[in-house]
Amino acid sequence: MRIIQLDTLRESKQCVRVNQNRTYKPSREGLLASNVLVRLEEIGIALDEDRPLRVFNNGLVVLDDGFKTITDEKEKVDERHRKRRPKTRPRKRSARRKRTSRGSRQAFTEPRIGGNVLSEDYKNQLTRLAEAYPTLQTFSDDDGIWLQAESSILSGLARKAIFLVALPYKIGLGPRAWGFWSSGNRFWWIGPRHTNFLDGSICAFAQIDQVWSEGGDLRRLLDIYSGWTLRHLYLEVCGRWPGKQYALLDADPLVQAFYRRMQCKSDELCGCGSNSRRYAECCMPHDLRLNLVQLTTHFKRHIEGGFESRKPPDPIESFVNGRSTLPRMADVHLLIGSS
């Protein structure tokens, strides 16, 4: 079956009332403002075409399209955005496309070898991180530092995203972050799609994407989370994940096949990481020929916890909802203590 772009466009136009879409959690604001919806759809289509995003201060996600349609945000761009790519120079298209937002902050740095070396790297960034995400709060921990910040995602969006990020100082553990929507005094988790097994933490990029590594620019990290959240909003409203995605990189092929069958819709970009091919025209025919019972058994044997394990730890949920204090990082970061 060939999926053409126009079908996607037409289908998404019918999703205006998100509370009519029973497949997904109803939107708590009921109806997205029409201008927000239009922008969201534009971005979703652009992600499917592998076009880049930009992220402005406060986590505002826009298309990196020369700002043709979004004039009001243009003035908010700060200098570090402008430095990224002179308009006169042709854009260099990397052969390895990014699944996540390739916003304007360039941050990839080689990891340093060592133990507790990230403390200064992170602490030295907090001032400029607070400039980019003005609601930033930080909390010290025996094993690192916690960040909490709001992200506005789309101009005019009634809800906000909140990121809670555990940043260990020891290299090799990596950040662990959870995303929640916030509206009024209500908070609800953003997931489970493209969250990690066992703790429902944000899975916004793979190492091979080389978009961020430990010690890198924390603004960039939160920008990537903002782009991931934008994708979640699109999924909620339009019923499909926009843009490039992976189905368990490095896992065995049968595990990947099962993951794709369970998670990928036929008109999404294929979970094998394709930049352009929809699942229906890529791996889906192969995946459908496999025995589902055997695949299920195989998946359960290889993936601890399975899909149901993708939910935030209780102490994280409890903290975000104001029912408890912040947990110790060691109690919720799966790799602390096991390394």
Distance of CA 53 to the CA centre of its chain: 12
Of 273-292, which residues contact Zn ion (CB under 5 A)?
Answer: 282-283
Q: Give min distance, CB of 26 to Zn ion, in A.
A: 31
Binding mask 87-126 for Zn ion (x = CB under 5 A): ----------------------------------------
Q: Quick one: 218 or 283, whose CB is closer to Zn ion? A: 283
**Does position 248 bind Zn ion by CB under 5 A?**
no
Q: Round to whole Å and give the CA distance between 97 and 270.
A: 14
Nearest to 303 by CA among 266, 251, 338, 264: 251
Neighbours of 252 (CB within 10 A): 12
Q: Give min distance, CB of 22 to Zn ion, in A.
A: 28
Q: Give min distance, CB of 280 to Zn ion, in A.
A: 10
H or E segment and range at residue 120: helix 118-123
Q: Count residues binding Zn ion (CB under 5 A).
A: 4
Report CA-CA distances (Å) from 39 to 43, 45, 84.
Answer: 6, 10, 24
Q: Give min distance, CB of 256 to Zn ion, in A.
A: 9
Q: Give min distance, CB of 206 to Zn ion, in A.
A: 15
Q: Quick one: 172 or 253, whose CB is closer to Zn ion? A: 253
Neighbours of 295 (CB within 10 A): 18
Q: Give min distance, CB of 155 to Zn ion, in A.
A: 34
H or E segment and range at residue 8: helix 5-13
What backbone phi and psi angles, to 5 degrees, belong to 68? -65, -35
Q: Give min distance, CB of 41 to Zn ion, in A.
A: 24
- Beta bridge mates, 153: 60
Q: Round to whole Å and give the CA distance between 263 and 327.
A: 31
SS3 content of the chain, % helix, strand, coil (to 5): 35, 15, 50
Region from 108-116, 170-178, 237-245, 263-271 binding Zn ion, contact rule CB under 5 A = 263-271
Q: Are 209 and 96 in contact (CB under 8 A)?
A: yes
For Zn ion, the binding residue among 164, 202, 270, 320 (CB under 5 A) is 270
Nearest to 235 by CA among 10, 2, 6, 21: 21
For Zn ion, the binding residue among 272, 280, 326, 332 (CB under 5 A) is 272
Q: Quick one: 165 or 270, whose CB is closer to Zn ion? A: 270
Give the list of residues 6+ apart from residue 252 with CB closer than 8 angstroms, or none: 298, 302
Q: Give min distance, CB of 279 to Zn ion, in A.
A: 7
Q: Quick one: 165 or 282, whose CB is closer to Zn ion? A: 282
Which residues sit at the interface with Zn ion, rule CB under 5 A?
270, 272, 282-283
